[in-house]
Amino acid sequence: MAEVVLYHHAQGLTDGVRAFADELRQAGHTVHTPDMYEGQTFDTLDEGLAYARSTGFEVVKDRGIAAAEGLPDALVFAGFSLGGMPAQQLAQTRPGVRGALLFHSCIPVSEFSESWPESVPVQIHAMEADPFFAEEDGDLGAARALLASTDQAELFLYPGNEHLFADSSLPAYEKEAAALLMRRTLDFLATGRRA
């Protein structure tokens, strides 16, 4: 079974993120859910992003990175949207990482290192018309560049335009797409490699 560090999105450590973590635990995985917002959650994405801006995106990311200190090496780092920042940085730079799961986000690999580590499989999940993801010069372009740079990466695009579609506590939740994302996530964690 895998040990996972799951980072929340810009609305905080919501009930939906906790439920996602619980589903992974029910499958036998150990899951850590760092709270980069120090107990705060927000009703809307705009409010959550405003908090992250006022706090500083680097500060939020550094809280996530600090939360992984002292944990064993053989981890899978996963992040929803904003949580993709610490998840991706740690997946690219920390020794012994088993994998990465990037939900609704992908940052250019060059932000954290020269290339994606060949020993670290990664899945990227997003909706094909998500306005936060689907720009070629944004997350989607970064995801495609990552795919082109390594055979360790997979990109899954789901029909629809919601951003945080895997969080069951938010209006953006899309049950069918979220179920498929969960199934692919569990397969990835069970095998320790690409699905």
The rounded distance, in Å, linking the Cα atoms of 104 and 35 is 18
Inform me whether the pLDDT recorded for 179 exceeds 90.
yes
Q: Radius of gyration over alpha carbons of the chain, in Å?
A: 15
Instruction: Give the chain's domains with CATH numbers.
Output: 3-191 (3.40.50.1820)
Chain segment 121-158, per-residue pLDDT in tens: 999 999 999 999 998 788 999 999 999 999 999 999 99
Supply the DSSP symbol for 94: S
Helices (H) and strands (E) in the chain, counts: 6, 6
What's the confidence (pLDDT) of residue 193?
54
Asked whether 77 and 87 are in contact (CB, 8 A), the reply is yes
What band does 191 get if pLDDT is binned at 50, 70 and 90? confident
19-52 residue pLDDT tens: 999 999 999 999 999 999 999 999 999 999 999 9
CA gap 94, 96 in Å, rounded: 7
CA distance 5 to 138: 25
Lowest mean pLDDT, pick from 38-42, 58-62, 135-139, 177-181: 135-139
pLDDT attached to residue 129: 96
Nearest CA to 170 out of 22, 14, 32 is that of 14
Per-residue pLDDT, 137: 82
Distance from C-alpha of 58 to C-alpha of 35, rounded to nearest angstrom: 15
User: Cα 4 to chain center, whole Å?
Assistant: 11
Q: What pLDDT does residue 24 have?
A: 98
Q: Average pLDDT of 9-14? A: 98
